[in-house]
Amino acid sequence: MGGVPLRLSLKELLYERVRLRDELASKLGHERASRACGDYHARKPPVHCGATVHSVLGCTFRCAYCYLPDMGVSFARAQPYGLSGEEMALALLCNPFFLPGPLGTYVAFGSLGEPLHEAGAARTLEYAEAFSRLLRNPMQLSTKAAVSEQVAARLAKVEAPLNPLVTIVTLRASAAIEPGAPSPWERLESVRLLRRAGLYPMVFLRPLIPGLEEDALEVVREAKRYGAAAVVLGGLRVTPSVVARLKAAGVDVSSVLSEVGGRLREGVQVSVPSRALKEAVAEEARRAGLVPLYSACCANTLNVYLKTGRRVPCPGLDFVDERFCARCPVNCRAIEVEVDPEEVKWAAKELLGVEAVAVEERGFELVLRVSDPRGALNRLKRRAAHRALIETAFRRRLRVESA
């Protein structure tokens, strides 16, 4: 505690979004601006780790646990996304759920493809450089590619914080489970190169696969040896096709089936409970001298701190509930923030349609005092992405209570 509190303002971020959007749109001209603002990235709501940007579509690494085939995305080829770097920056600025700047929405490359796949790495680099120059939001990319010295050097030159997550889930079973991907040893080498270039690479141990517990402990120890700054632990989500592919790759899926077998349905991703496994691997990470984290959002937050020395609370609000906070050096719970209750009232009315009689700050929550709590709660549910926008800007959870 102590020192100057971090002042947070949603209005300032919204004004900045309009200013940057208008400036960039006029630079790009009518045709390119319409293409950018008509793009899917200009509409889609954020996920927990922020705004995902699909710089590359498709992937040829064919991981058994990948859900791309369930989403109809190709395993046969990867291709760069059609927008240029400036156009994609404008698409984000047109997105009503995006906030620009160092205190704004986190940007994550990946999720519908491998961002550093040789077919599209140039596009990802172009996006990262454009976003750093035009938006300055913290960025993250998760990769299984073998990163060259040149790519590491270019990523390291990006001025805005950029968090590389190198995914490794097993050292021994990778050839069967991730048949098209570079070997885990090549990926550990990527960690070494990225660190040497001046970045803070973290190992993404997701998914933790039941039956491969020993492998996970091994990954953590090697991650430390190769210079990772942290390890991010995440559970497995399965569909019938993922279970079938894991089984075909030689994984014993009996414990997965006994946990979620009854809930498996075509096209629906089901989370396999992983709390105990996560805690065991986190313990091993601490023993090895490595920071364990439970979300990609926390990895981005820690990366901002390592790169800039600035402590800003995690926008995913993982610190609100102690169970999700791995108590990394950022120590979000101890960061004092200054929020104007009148501005919160304004945001609740404008973006959620909720008229608050008063706003109270209570711990890590902003309590909206309203005359109709049930109606207000319904609005918060229906406008989840707007709620996330407000919570990101103020780094506080919204709560509704009777006036």
Beta bridge partners of 53: 109
- Cβ pair 295, 326 in contact under 8 A: no
Q: What dihedral angle (degrees, nearest 10) is formed by the CA atoms of 191, 305, 296, 186? A: 0
How many angstroms separate the CA atoms of 394 and 313, rounded?
Answer: 9
3-state DSSP helix/strand/coil % of the chain, to nearest 5:
45, 15, 40
Decide if residue 66 touches ligand SF4 (CB under 6 A). Answer: yes
Within 10 angstroms of residue 350's Cβ, the number of other Cβ atoms is: 14
Verify binding: residue 332, ligand SF4, rule CB under 6 A.
yes
**DSSP structural state of residue 272:** P
Least distance (Å) between residue 327 CB and ligand SF4: 6
Q: How many residues bind ligand SF4 (CB under 6 A)?
A: 24
Residue 121 found at the interface with ligand SF4 (CB under 6 A)? no
Binding mask 243-282 for ligand SF4 (x = CB under 6 A): ----------------------------------------
User: Residue 21 and residue 62: Cα distance in Å, rounded?
Assistant: 38
* Window 165-184: contact mask with ligand SF4 (x via CB under 6 A): ----------------x---
Interface pick for ligand SF4 out of 49, 162, 330, 389 (rule CB under 6 A) = 330
Q: Which of 19, 172, 225, 327 binds ligand SF4 (CB under 6 A)?
A: 327
- The minimum distance between CB 293 and ligand SF4, in angstroms, equals 6
Looking at 174, 301, 303, 392, which residue binds ligand SF4 (CB under 6 A)? 301
- Given candidates 49, 63, 103, 116, which one binds ligand SF4 under the rule CB under 6 A? 63
How far apart (Å, rounded) are the C-alpha atoms in residues 21 and 24?
A: 5
Among 173, 197, 277, 314, binds ligand SF4 (CB under 6 A): 314
Residue 375 CB contacts under 8 Å (≥ 6 apart), including other chains: none
Dihedral sign from CA coordinates of 302, 303, 309, 313? negative
Quote the CA–CA distance of 64 and 217 in Å, as a whole number: 20
CB 364 within 8 A of CB 335: no
Total residues belonging to the chain = 403
Binding ligand SF4 by CB under 6 A: which of 298, 312, 344, 400? 298
The span of 186-194, 232-240, 296-304, 336-344 binding ligand SF4 (CB under 6 A) equals 296-304
Which of residues 16, 318, 343, 391 is near ligand SF4 by CB under 6 A? 318
Is residue 331 close enough to count as binding ligand SF4 by CB under 6 A? yes
Q: What is the DSSP letter of 226?
A: T
Cis peptide before 210 (omega within 30 of 0): no
319 binds ligand SF4 (CB under 6 A): yes
Figure out which of the listed residues 33, 68, 83, 103 binds ligand SF4, where binding follows CB under 6 A. 68
Among 139, 193, 236, 293, binds ligand SF4 (CB under 6 A): 293
Q: Are strands 51-53 and 337-338 parallel, antiparallel or unpaired?
A: unpaired
DSSP 163: E
Smallest separation (angstroms) from ligand SF4 to the CB of 35: 26
In the complex with ligand SF4, the residue whose CB is nearer, 6 or 377, is 6
CA–CA dist 231, 144 (Å, integer): 15
Q: Based on the shown chain and the rule CB under 6 A, indicate whether residue 302 belongs to the binding site for ligand SF4.
A: yes
Q: Is 205 in the site for ligand SF4 (CB under 6 A)?
A: no
Residue placing its CB nearer to ligand SF4 in the complex, 8 or 14: 8
What residues make contact with ligand SF4 under the rule CB under 6 A? 59, 61-63, 66, 68, 113-114, 144, 181, 293, 298, 301-302, 314, 318-319, 325-328, 330-332
